[in-house]
Structure 1
Amino acid sequence: MQQLTPYLALDTKAKHLLDQRDGSEIVLSFSEAQVLSHLLSAPGTVFGKEELLSVGWPERVVALTSLTQCISILRKKLEPYPEIQLKTVARRGYQLNISEQSHVHMLAISDGEAIRTALVSVSLKIKLLGILLLLGLVGFFWYYSDYHQMVKQVSHWRADKQLPLNVGGTLASAQLFYSDEAKQLHPSMWQKHLAPEGNLIPGLKHFSAYAASDGRNYSFAICPSADETGCDGDGIINITAIDPKPAGLSMKEFVPLSKEMERRIRYNRIILPPAVDNAELVEHNYHADIYFPVAGELLVRTDLSLSLVYDSKDSGQFYSSACVTDQDCITTPIKYQLRGHFHQYRTEISGTLVDVFQVKVNQKELIKPDNVSDSAMHFYREIRKDDIRDEEIYYFRVYQDHKTAVWIVPQMGNLLAWTTYSEVKL
């Protein structure tokens, strides 16, 4: 069996051409098979007419017209394969040429030998073009893949600094997460919002802390009850500054005020009944209260709830609900809810392990308030922007223990929240 192309073979014994793409056969006479086989032994070589006569009609004396007719018939049988050319060279003889385009024809999947022949026989130029095309396709799909979009989001964040904090008269160091947009990272950007004369929380002896900035918001979160086993969720404080002017927040007054606000209005915290047996689904719920002090304005609070329901090991349904109110209830609740599908990735930010939740939003609802105080107008505008723009968003879980977790939440910019954690069996 002689291969003319990766998909067309000559069988001189059976006297036929075999198209290996579909298994079809082209019947040849003895002379046609022998002449074609001889020409195929050295493609591109000019063979004399006398030599071809002796090959096609051995031990016989025939007229030159027999060879001319044989060549004519071969040309007709090879017409379906334009890459194979049987040429007449004037006054010299005949020549078989096979162009390289034969290598780009579709091969029979089951024809391993033809595939191997095609791969080996194609020119280096075509191989290089094929490799470049393949690399281009891989690069295209990588660039637009969900994983690459996540990598780009994470690349904008750093966690290589510690931030000294004095909260309630107690000193501690907070791990700082900051984005490329955060140009001012001096501790005063966080500390200046606490009034020095009121920075006292009786009984606060120590705390663990995290801090974050996206260049617009400056957040810190503390847990006074944290120890080597984690945070038990008691006494968590989440504060985010949205204005560069010092807020003058008195921590001595803030603690009882925040407790009063949380007792008076509670939208997203769920009081759970005893666990049920044989639950089909488990909802992982995270809750936090985030406070926004601004100089001369009412204290504004966001009551935040995040829920994850896993469909598989690293993906599932995502739910978020946020309610904004102020300390005097002048602003009736600004409620923003969204739901979508999440994919969870485990990665690092400056060597710190984090969980990244890529959420593709498929449902949003903004419940507009009847009244918005001057203090809360900023938040209404920001939530309205989120409602218009949110399509694909990223939540970072930068810490978790058995009762709490710390999140960077992409709402109204990026907010840091130390949340309490609970499971709801459904």
Structure 2
Amino acid sequence: MNISKCLTIDLESRELVDHKMALRHSLTLAELEVLKCLVNHIGEVVSKEALNEAGWPNRVVAPSSLTQCMSCLRRKLGAHDDIELKNIPRYGYSLCVTETYESIKSMQEPLSDDSNDSAVDNHFSRYWRWLGVVLFVVLLAGLHFSGKLKQTVNYLALFAKPGVVSILDAETELGGQKVQLSQLRLEDQPEIQRSAAHYIGNWSNTDKIFGNEVLKRIFANDNNRYESVALCNQYEGECKDTQPLNLVRERNTYSPLDLQWLSDTKLRMEQVTYNKILLDKFDNPPQGLVEDIYRADVYYYGASKNVVRADVRLSLVYQSPARGTLVMAACITDDLLRHVSMRYQFSGEFKMQKKTVDGQLVKSFLLDTGNVSFTSPDEISEESATIYRELRKSVLSNETQILRQVYQDANSGVWMLPLWGDTMVWAHRVEVTL
């Protein structure tokens, strides 16, 4: 089996034959089958699932098995600069050979003695290469002058960002009541399953807040810096809780949390709503479009008796099933200063992608942020400084954002929003026809 003019696969001896270096590299059975699959689809992207099935048919193996196989193949292909085994983030791999199609075809067909035909072939080969270069330059120029080049580059950058790879469900108890815990993990997070006690073991007075016997459901995430929990107190196939509880704390900080005290503090802080998204932000969208509006309060807590509140609004207008316009705004207050210390807002056009992870539909909204505003605080507490640093970093460095929705019903949705890193937020949902 031919890979290039200087590299072939000897199927009988199960070896990779390097004619340029006069070397032969033995292949394991998995390496042979994976490489054959890639060679049969040169220049195409082959999914991880297809490669796993080729290398380990009818077997369940760890994700690291394919990663290790690719690492070994790269070492054996390393002497050939014209061959590259590319990793396509979140999807699979592609074997790219920079030789022309004609040079590969010449290895598979009898050689012709007609040198004139060879000269003609070379001429046309050069012609098509130059034509491809010209068309590529014209395409870039068109994107640049239309203002779409930057947007296209931003979207490509977003595709490389880590996605949700697992949503692990477990059952536990909270205040003597049943709880369904769904723990999310992204590609760049360690493969460690936390226990339910890791997230809620430091809570006290839970029976006073969660007194009903209805199932509670929790979505949780550890993003390597902060741990966040989004909890619906009444879950019956959908969230019946009008005010789900969203909590954030710094990783490895296990200070006790009195939920009765937090409930009283929330009640006092939420008497004032600072946040509002105006519909005219969307520049008079055409009649008949649907707007999804999400509202939530997210609380950061630490060792002190001062909590930070993020009053969050999220608004989406779909212009097609997978595209539209999005605005997110967050007003930040804390119980110590008791006034708006920060306001963060961004908006832009999104492209939505769907993926099923462990039976749960995940929607990723890839956003090219056209407008960003951030109001710095006049005064700041030690606790609110944590989110100030996160938002400031996001404002300075990100021309793009990715927002993920991991659950939705008629009246609510669970999101990963860019607040304290990727923060789990269970938000109340309203649908408006414009």
- TM class by shorter chain equals 0.5 to 0.7
How far 1:183 sits from its partner (Å)?
6.0
Is 1:159 the counterpart of 2:159 in the alignment?
no
Higher Rg of the two aligned structures? 1
Superposed CA deviations along residues 59-116 of structure 1, whole A, max 9, x for unmatched, are xxxxxxxxxxxxxxxxxxxxxxxxxxxxxxxxxxxxx96252323556xxxxxxxxxx
Q: How does 1:42-121 map to 2 (within 5 A)?
A: 98-105=116-123
Distance in 1, Cα, partners of 2:165 & 2:116: 60
Superposed CA deviations along residues 377-418 of structure 1, whole A, max 9, x for unmatched, are 111111111111122221111111111111111333110011
Match of 2:221 in 1: 212
Q: 1:97 to 1:418 in 2, by over 3 A?
A: closer
How far 1:322 sits from its partner (Å)?
0.8
How far 1:297 sits from its partner (Å)?
4.3
Give the AA of the match of 1:191.
I
Distance in 1, Cα, partners of 2:176 & 2:336: 28
Match of 1:14 in 2: none
Distance in 2, Cα, partners of 1:146 & 1:370: 33
Unaligned runs of 5+ in 2: 1-113, 141-151, 280-285
Match of 1:329 in 2: 337
Q: 1:169 to 1:370 in 2, by over 3 A?
A: farther
Distance in 2, Cα, partners of 1:328 & 1:269: 26
Match of 1:403 in 2: 411
Name the SS of the counterpart of 2:209 in structure 1: coil
Unaligned runs of 5+ in 1: 1-95, 107-121, 272-277
Match of 1:115 in 2: none
How far 1:241 sits from its partner (Å)?
1.5
How far 1:280 sits from its partner (Å)?
4.4
Match of 1:416 in 2: 424
Distance in 2, Cα, partners of 1:251 & 1:367: 31
Match of 1:274 in 2: none
How many residues get paired?
A: 293
In 2, are the aligned partners of 1:199 and 1:250 still within 8 Å (CA)?
Answer: no
Name the SS of the counterpart of 2:242 in structure 1: coil
Q: How does 1:341-380 map to 2 (within 5 A)?
A: 341-380=349-388
Q: How does 1:211-230 map to 2 (within 5 A)?
A: 211-228=220-237, 230=238
Give the AA of the match of 1:162.
D
Q: 1:269 to 1:358 in 2, by over 3 A?
A: closer
After TM superposition, the structure 1 stretch with the greater mean CA deviation from structure 2, 231-240 or 364-373, is: 231-240
In 2, are the aligned partners of 1:261 and 1:327 still within 8 Å (CA)?
Answer: yes
Q: How does 1:5-404 map to 2 (within 5 A)?
A: 98-105=116-123, 152-155=160-163, 157-179=164-186, 180-182=188-190, 185-187=193-195, 188-195=197-204, 200-201=208-209, 203-206=211-214, 207-228=216-237, 230-268=238-276, 279-330=287-338, 332-404=340-412
Name the SS of the counterpart of 1:371 in structure 2: coil
Distance in 2, Cα, partners of 1:256 & 1:387: 33
Name the SS of the counterpart of 1:98 in structure 2: helix
Match of 1:111 in 2: none
Distance in 1, Cα, partners of 2:116 & 2:342: 75
Q: 1:235 to 1:293 in 2, by over 3 A?
A: same
How far 1:178 sits from its partner (Å)?
1.7
Name the SS of the counterpart of 2:257 in structure 1: coil
Q: 1:380 to 1:165 in 2, by over 3 A?
A: farther
Name the SS of the counterpart of 2:315 in structure 1: strand
Aligned-pair RMSD on alpha carbons? Answer: 3.3
Distance in 2, Cα, partners of 1:262 & 1:363: 28
In 2, are the aligned partners of 1:163 and 1:175 still within 8 Å (CA)?
Answer: yes
How far 1:269 sits from its partner (Å)?
7.8
Name the SS of the counterpart of 1:307 in structure 2: strand
How far 1:318 sits from its partner (Å)?
1.2
The TM-score, its normalising length taken from structure 1, stands at 0.61
Superposed CA deviations along residues 211-266 of structure 1, whole A, max 9, x for unmatched, are 122122211112123212x1234231111122422231111222232122111344
Q: 1:198 to 1:425 in 2, by over 3 A?
A: closer
Distance in 2, Cα, partners of 1:149 & 1:323: 28
Superposed CA deviations along residues 298-322 of structure 1, whole A, max 9, x for unmatched, are 0111111111112222111111101
